[in-house]
Chain A
C-alpha cells in the first residue's frame, strides 16, 4: 500500500469506529436518560409503568409513614398535585417534611411511585435546582425560602 492508501484506510477505520461509538451513544441517551417531572406535570406527560423517571417536589406535611422494617411511604407534592411514593432504605440526612426532594424510580401498576433512590439537598441553604425551578414555574416558590 502506498502512504496515501494507508492513511486513507486508517482514517476510514477511525471513522467507522467513531460512527459506531456515536450511534451507541445516541441510542444510550434515548434509552437511559431519565426525565424529571413534578407531580402536576404527570397529568400531561405519558409515563409508562416501568419507565425510569425522576420525580421531584416537596415532601408533603404529615404524610411520612414508616412501615415494616426499612420501608417508608410519603407523598411528594408541588402544592397543586401530590404523588404517593414508597422507598426501602435509608433516607438522606436532610430528608424532612416540607423540604425539597428528588426521587428516582418507576411507577408501579397501582400508581404508587416506587423509588430506588431519594436525594435531598446537600446543604441546608439550597433546594435541589430542578425542584426550585419547577416551583418557581408553578408560582409557589418564595425567594425567602432559599435562605
Chain B
C-alpha cells in the first residue's frame, strides 16, 4: 500500500508535467485534440494524488512505524482520530494535503469547465499543472513522506501534544481549501494574459472560484483563531503572529478581489486591476506557504527546519510570482480599459474598498517581513507585534468599516450620496444611541469602546437597511415587500449577510477587548473568587489518566445567586510521557454569547495553585460572525448568475462578440 502511494505520487508528478506542456502547445497551435488532453489528465492526476494521500493516511491509521514520517509523528496509543489527523500534522503530510487540494481544484475546472472556451480551459489547466509540478517535485525531492526505516521501530515518537486536538481535523484542510483555492483565480489570470484577452464573462467564471476560496479561507482562519484561543491557554484570539499574518494577507487581498471582480463582471471596468489582484492574492498564499513551511519563522507551525526546503520553496515562489508579474507587465497593455464611472458610485465605493484593503495588506506584509529583512541585513533581531498593527492596521480598518453600508446602496455609474445617507439615517441614529448607552450606562467604558460598539451596530443595521431598501420598505405594502424581499437575487442576500457577519465579528472583538476582565491569583481548594459578577469556587485538583497522557484536573464550581453550584468548569495540566511534554487544557464555560475562561498554572509549595481567569463578554461573536460571513459567501454562490460555469449560451455569444482584443 505504501509503495503504491509512493508510486502514485511519482506518476502524479509526471502527469502534472503532461498537463502543463500538452494543453499549452495545443492552445498555441489551436489544436483541439492536444487541448482536450488537459481535462482527463487533471482528473487522473487528482485521483493519483488522492490514492497517495490515502496510502499515507492508512499507514498512520495502522501505526506503520516502518515509515519514518509515521514513526516521528504518531504513537500506537493515540486515539484513532488523532492518528488520522496526524497525517497532515507534520511537514511532509501537510504538503501532500496541499497538492491534493491543488489537484482537486484542477479536476473541478476540468469537470465543470466544459462551457469554457477551449483555449482558455487548456491554458488554465496548464498553469494549474505547472504549480502542481513544482510542488510535486518539492515533495519528492525534499519532503517525501514515504521514506522507509529499516529496521522498523516498535513504537512511534507521538504527535506533538498541542496538535492532538479536533482543531487539527478542521483547521488545516479548511485553510488549504482557501489558500490553494486562489490558485484557480491565479491560473485564470495567467491564462488570460497568455491569451491576451479578458472580458466580463472571464470575471463571471473567476468570481465563483474566488467566493469558494474566500469562504474556506474565512473558515480556516476563524477555526485557527478559536483553536489557538482554547488550546494555548493564553486567552487571546489573535496574536499578530507571522504565521497568522501569512494566512491573513491572502484573506485581505482575496476580499479585495471578491469586490473588484463584481465591478469587472457588472461594469467591465477595473479589468487589469482585478487580474493583478488575482495574481497577488495567490502570490500571498505562496508567500504564506513559504513563511510557514520553510522554517524561517519559529512557531508551532514550523514542524522542522531544513534549509534546503526553504530555498526550494523560495525558488518556486520566485518562479511563479516573478513569472506571472513579468507576463503581466508584457501583456497588460493589450487589455482594454473598461467603462467609465463617476467617483461617487458603486464602482467608486468598491475602488475605495480595494484601496483600503490592499493598503492594509501591505502594512501587514511590511510588519511580517520587516524582522526577516532586518535580520538579514544586520545582526539585530527584532519583533513586530500587536502594538505595530494596532497603530497601522486599525486606522485603515475604521474608515473602511464606516463606508461599508454605503457601498451596496449606491447606484452603479453615478450615485447619489445624499439619498443613500438619508436611507441610512435609522441605522446611523441607532448606532449613535448604542454609543451613548455604552458610554453612559456601562461602567468602565472608554470612548474607544463606545465608538467600537457604535461601529458594530452601524455595520449590522447597515446590512439590514440594504435589504429593507431593496425590498422597498416604506414605499410598498407589506405583502409586496415580503414578496420582493424573497425575490431578491441571492447575491444581494449574500452581500448583506457577509457585511452583517463582519459587524458581529467587530462587536465580539470590541466586547472582549474593551469589557473583558482578567484575574491572576493563587487559590487554595475551597476558596472562592469573584469575576465580573460571577462567583467561582475552586474545588481542588484531581488526577486522571488518558489514553496517552496523565493529567491533573482543577475543578471549579460556578456558584449561583442562591449560593449553590450551577455549573462546573475544569482546566487541566496534561503530561505526555512520550515527548516529556506538558500542555494546559483551558476550561471554558459559555454563558449566552460570552465565556468564562480558566487556565491552570503551577502548584505552589503550600498546595495553592496559580489560576488565571478571564471573563470574555461577547467573545463567541468573533467566530460566529465569521460563520455568518461564510454563509453569505455560500448564499452568493447559489445565485443563478454565479453558478460555477453557468453563463447561458446566448450570453456567451454576446460576450464573445463584445470581447475586446487589441493586438
Contacts and interface: CB of A to CB of B under 8 A. Distances in A.
Contacts of A43: none
Contacts of B162: 122-123
A73 interface: no
**Residue among B366, B383, B396, B580 with max Cβ neighbours from chain A (10 Å):** B383
B381 A70 contact: no
B380 to A, nearest CB: 6
Given A14-B355, A36-B383, A28 B610 contact: no
Given A93-B582, A122-B162, 19 more contacts: A3-B340, A21-B392, A25-B363, A25-B366, A33-B383, A33-B388, A34-B383, A34-B385, A35-B382, A54-B381, A66-B602, A69-B522, A70-B601, A90-B610, A93-B573, A123-B162, A123-B300, A124-B579, A134-B381
B659 interface: no
Contact of A21 (B359, B371, B573, B583): B359
A80 to B, nearest CB: 17
B592 interface: no
B370 interface: yes
Contacts of A90: 233, 520, 584, 599-602, 610, 612
A85 B495 CA distance: 51
Contacts of B610: 69-70, 90
A82 interface: no
A34 B382 contact: yes
Interface in A8-43: 10, 14, 17-18, 21, 24-25, 27-29, 31-36
5 contacts: A28-B392, A33-B370, A89-B601, A90-B600, A122-B160
Size band of the B side of the interface?
35 or more
Contacts of B160: 122-123
A123 B599 CA distance: 20
Contacts of B387: 28, 31-32, 52
Interface of A: 3, 6, 10, 14, 17-18, 21, 24-25, 27-29, 31-36, 52, 54, 66, 69-70, 88-91, 93-94, 104, 122-124, 126, 128-130, 133-134
Interface in B357-412: 359, 362-363, 366-367, 370-371, 380-385, 387-388, 391-392, 395-396
B153 interface: no
A124 B366 CA distance: 31
Contacts of B605: 66
Contacts, number: 113
A86 B517 CA distance: 23
B604 interface: yes
Nearest to B380: A35
Given A91-B601, A94-B582, A122-B300, A24 B392 contact: yes
B521 interface: yes
Given A33-B384, A54-B383, A93-B573, A21 B362 contact: yes
Contacts of B582: 93-94
Nearest to B363: A25
Interface of B: 160, 162, 233, 298-300, 305, 340, 343, 355, 359, 362-363, 366-367, 370-371, 380-385, 387-388, 391-392, 395-396, 520-522, 573, 579-584, 599-602, 604-605, 610, 612
A33 B382 contact: yes
A34 B340 CA distance: 47
Nearest to A128: B298
Contact of B581 (A36, A54, A91, A123): A123
Contacts of B391: 24, 27-28, 31-32
B335 to A, nearest CB: 16
Contacts of B355: 14, 17
Contact of A29 (B233, B298, B359, B384): B384
B387 to A, nearest CB: 4
Contacts of A134: 381
A36 B382 CA distance: 5
A69 B609 CA distance: 9
A119 to B, nearest CB: 10
Interface centre among B162, B340, B391, B396 (most CB of A within 10 A): B391
A128 B300 CA distance: 11
Nearest to B582: A93
Enumerate the 10 nearest inter-chain pairs by beta-carbon distance, A residue then B residue, closest first. A90-B601, A36-B381, A32-B387, A32-B388, A93-B582, A129-B298, A28-B391, A70-B520, A122-B300, A33-B382
Nearest to B157: A125
Given A25-B363, A32-B387, A36-B381, A66 B604 contact: yes
Nearest to B579: A124
Contacts of B371: 33
Nearest to B160: A123
B521 A70 contact: yes
Contacts of B583: 93
Given A66-B604, A69-B522, A90-B601, A122 B383 contact: no
Contacts of B380: 35-36
A85 B580 CA distance: 26
Contacts of B580: 124
Contacts of B573: 93
B366 A29 contact: yes
B242 to A, nearest CB: 12
A32 B298 contact: no
Contact of B520 (A6, A10, A88): A88
B388 A29 contact: yes
Contacts of B396: 21
Nearest to A117: B234
Contacts of B370: 29, 33
B501 to A, nearest CB: 26
